[in-house]
Structure 1
Amino acid sequence: MSSLLHLISSHVKRARAASLRKQADPDKRATFRHRVFPSSSSLSLVAKVKNPIPTSTPWDLLPVELQIIIFAHCGIADLLTLKLVCKAFNQILSTHEQLIARQYLRQRRHGTLPAPLDDQRIYTWKPEDDVVLLSDLFPPTMSAKGGQLCTFRYLSSFHRREKLCSRLCYYLADRIVKRFADVESTFMKTSFPSRTKRAEFIKKAIARVWSYLSPLMYYTLYFLESYADARREQTNILLRDFEAGRLPVPIPPDVRKNMYLELQKRIIQAPPFTDTSTLISTNHCMRLLVLWLRDTVPPDEPNISDDSWIGSLLAVSPFQRIVEYFSAEIGDGGNQRVQRRVFMRNFHNDITLTENDEMNSRVFESAPNVHLHRSVQDVWFDVAAAELDSRRAINHKKERVMLHPHVPFLFGCPDCKPGLSDGCPHHLLNISWTSHRLSPLHHGLEHDTLLNNQAALETYATRLRDHLTNSPADAQGWRAAEDDPTSALSAIGALQSCTWEPISTLHFLSPHHVHEDEPQNQERGPAGLLITLSYEAITYRAALLAPPGVQSQSQKKARKRGRPSKASSSSSSTYLPLLLTRFPKSLRESFITFLSSNFDTYVSPLRISSAGLCDVLESYVASVTSSITSSSTKVEDVIREMHLALSFAPPIAPSLKALNVSIPRETLMSFLRSSNSSIGSSGGAGTGNSVLSGLSEYLQKHLALELGLPLPFPTSGTSGSGSLVGGYVRLTKVACAGFVVTGEGRLKVVARVGEGGEDEKNMGALRGGEALMMAILERAGSGLDREGEQD
């Protein structure tokens, strides 16, 4: 070890001697600095320390420029600690404080220094650019000589802001992802079977949301601090006018409010908010922050919500109070009760200091019962909405964060326009649905459109919420006895929220996994509506789906026939023939009553005949077969075992109501092989052959049971008519690993969302689920054109 130290010491001595020689030569001085310190041109202005204090170590042999670079690589908190190590460090850190701070900023900013904000600066979403954005938003103060005063105090404030924003973004991301995991418990269990995988998903999803929110939170912090500084500066100006006699009377509260709104307007109309995309993203971040602040504290009364405390928290208290609030809510870092008490005391002190401020009491009129900001809308939101309206940027897109492939998290504002890329059809998977037929929904007296009209969706969501909360059943909480008899006495709580959202598409796969010959752009609008009812203990959903191109085809027929009245009526109604509900019986009946009374629609249960179940199965198998391209994956890997239910009419077998037939995985393809050619060449029903032809022939040969399904070729003893003789034997249920469909209209599509690009087997299940859903939609839509279909 001593030999190594001696070697290092000799190298340092030679480097120092070379440095002194080249510094003495003016011709080589510039070249030396450029070669040794290429990113630190400011180090050439290093001041010589008079009487440097030695440390009696090789440190004394290092050039001052190299010592500055070493200190600049230390953390901000370490610099203050290093001052206490020895007098030599204290002397260097005190003498070269600005050079060390500037070098620190250059390293964090990739060789640049903070620059004034303007319209030309473009910031990326890369994590390494967060420091560039934050230091540009909060640059060092300017000295009297025109330079920036980069000090350790500035670095400390920079680090404090960075840490506050990071903690707040983490708290929001943690709440968002965990709420998603609670609401989407079925999706979590099916997509991530093990607890380890679920924990890994939550960890990665929190990191994604955390990273996305960080730059937006910097803009939010910039606005709040700029607003506080502007109020303080305006108060100083008004105080000088008051002392000079130019302000005869104190300013009343309404005038004070208008003055504060004008201050906010000036901030929003200046950089960085002159960029409309930045203004929109900051507006979404502010709304997300307020939304979760409201979520933590329920309103005092059901219909009255006082959010003035949120306005005071944003405007009166420093940004640190918001972080303290969320930290106290989850008990991060200590006793939760103590943290809440500390926050409430600090928040109360902030409000008291503002109300008792001597400068404010002399300038503004006293109003004890009036809050400084009566509503949260007084901070940012009213001014931002007016500015977006003036820029004609009302219909903008939502912010989109991918928690997982095919699982987006969307947040925005009421002015966001629902687009095709906003919705996600994964809510239709892994849920047992009860299906109904719907006649067209008429809404022309109130709204011209429904699916693309956010105002209409919010209106009907509010009506449905009022309809459910005012119903007698909601007074005690909806009972789930129909789904779980053991929970008949357990109420699910009060209704917390009701949302209507457009479903962008019925394609479960991402666009780059869709075949080129598939009409993925056939529908030019949302493919349906997703209605979510969130109660205290459970979440219920309903989906209203439309087959692709149905509306456009009806309108084309109306134009061809020359019937403008029919075309105009179709434009004031929406064709959503398939209704899927995941409700208990009492809630489903109340929901159907709401649809009938508000849209003048007729709702009837969807019954699927034996031939219809065969068509659905054939569509699923054909789609799965066409999606498998490698020899390592087979159709039976997706379908696994198949279970069929045959029911009998009472005259045939009074004691035998149903017969369950199970086809194991090993023999599945032997029953499907007879119709493989038709499956491979056609993706739907109507080819004359059924995927159950082999099974029908087997049952007839070995059990003398005529199933009545169409056979691929005539056999002895069969009518070959393709229909059941007398309707005594019916196929009532088809189930496999990918789906379950019953003749009573119960269906479930099973697939793991997010693994389609990695697992060909799961991609086949997703593609088969698309085909099955389209087949059900086709039968629901065709039922509206015929009188009915009977087995």
Structure 2
Amino acid sequence: MTGFAKFALSVQKVRAAIHNRRKAGAKDQRGSSLRNDLTDLPASSPWDLPVEIQIRIFAYSGITDFHPLRLVCKAFCELLTRNEHEIVRQYLRLRRHGTLPSPIDDDRTYTRSPSDDVVLLSDLFPPSKSARGGHLYTFKYLHGLRRRQMLCSRLCHYLADRILDRFIQTEPAVMKASFPAKRNERNALVNRGIASIRFHLAPLMYYTLYFLESYASARREHTNMLLQKYEAGQLPVPLPLEIRQRMYRELQIRILRSPPFTNTPALVATHHCMHLLVSYIRYAMSPDGQAEIDDSWISSLLTLAPFVRIVEFFSAEIGDGGSQRTQRKDFMYNFYQDTTKYEKDHMNSVVFARASTESLHSSVEDIWFAAAAVELRARRAIPHDVEHVWVWNDNQVALKTYATRLRDHLTGDVLAGIYASTSAAGDDALSKTGALKDCQWRPISSQSLRDEVPRRSQNTTISGILVTLEYENIVYKAALLAETNSSPNQRTGSTSLPLLLTRFPTALRQTFITFLSTNFDTYCSPLRLPSSFLCAGLETYIDTLRTQRPSASDTVEDVIKELQLTLSFSSSIAPALRSLNVSVARSSLVGFLRDQPGQSAPKSRSLQHKLRSPFIANLTSYLDTHLAMKLDLDGSSSDQPAKHHVRLSKVACAAFVLGGEGRVKLVVAADRDVGDGSEDSRGDKNELALEAGEILLRSVIRKAVVEDHSAT
């Protein structure tokens, strides 16, 4: 084959290879385009959730979280901006128990009923109206509510502090004779007093702030109207100061004759709050009352920047958060700037005549007091009855209010209540619970312990409150229990709940106790149960089981099962031995319940407790005979040395646990294993165990009542 022929054959082979490669490339192109089409399909993301669910998720955030969430990413910013109206509405519904704020009108009145702070604030300060109809629910509106709540909360705290400080200074003999001598206990008492006064002042401060802001808004609108008349030639000369003051008083009377002040108790309560506020401003300037005070600057303090400068004034007076000298300089500078800005206002200088020697309100009486006196006389409310004190009994709204405040206390939200940092979140037990989903306060009736339907003849008074905290992974509960029979020396208008039972981690329990001490006139301390009470509680439980079913000899064994007693020793006689456990097996319980021949019950039990169970007496005799331990567990012998050095510190069994350091546990589950008998027999034993547990619980409540009365 010639060279040309070889070359032609090589060219054909190359052409065939190129052709085959092109055909293979076309197939790959069709396959890759198909794969690219598949990969271009959008993947699932959190934004695939329905917008209603996204709005509800964001509504659980705090007010201060919305702006940082906008900065997280562009998607968050677009979502929050696009759904701002719906998120704010949902946020308010969650904190107003399903309702939305509505503007104040003539058909609506307000009282001092225990409403949530958000409900009262948002009703007093509703969102502004939109030009297209409806209202503008914006994040700015929520921040405005939060700003007002913070101002009122701080001012209430400062006033409460000044009230108690004045009482301590003017009544040293009463403080020394009637209050604890230890400084830490006295400080704790003062803090409880401040919290109680602050709690009762909060709704009144909202009314006061509403009046001052409404008055400032009415003055601006009135000045604009006069300016329009002046520019139209209907007001030839500037108005003198006398006419100006008369106009402003008419504006105040108009506000007092519109809701919420159409309700006379609300008007009276706000009048008292205003008087308290002004009197303590005067007292701060002249504690001895000797110096003459120019009231005109107090009126300027109330009108130019409502509550803002007053909070700065009291903060500088107390020295809260820094140097008093620096705070006073800042207050004086800011107050001077306010007065200068008002004096240089163009509209005021055009409409009103200048009076350099006289201020706008020559006396503090020109703010509220003169107009309120006219209105109170017109309603025949001078003199008036003492204001009623509200308590929680039979008031479901109050329980919802407390539940909302506790939830906000735990989550750190400041709008609906007093702010508290969630320091408990760092606890190991709480780190696994997840987020707080729900908080409920429910009444406990006297019949609900046994799940019985109360008869009409039975007393259905509330005997406590059940607090439920539902987290994502666990549910915690606490119970505030009251004595069924009210004490004759109990104060009227108050609710006594002497016993608190909690099933909380340590950090959560401390946070809950802080919430109670902050919002109520209460003080929580561990209930110490003496050895005699533990013995009496054990014998009461056994006696209930035996007397209700004397024919069934196995009831005590099936309910109590194994019994364990913990004996604690004084360090003076046993420095290396802190405690000793005495276990009584299930099979040995019957032997300790038999009456021993020739043995009489101790006088203390026979006379005081009137019990028929010889368990403690037989156990004491057994320990004395077999272990040479002469004990006095129930305190029946007054001259025994063991009474001062050995005590019963814990009683534990399958039915209950009683601890001397304030531990109480009752096991009353209906499906508990109580033996191998028939179903009816198990049901009877469960009912009997439930009744014995209820009797034991009531004895603990009575013990708490006795301790409460002895402490007060």
TM-score (norm 2): 0.49
TM-score (norm 1): 0.44
Higher Rg of the two aligned structures:
2
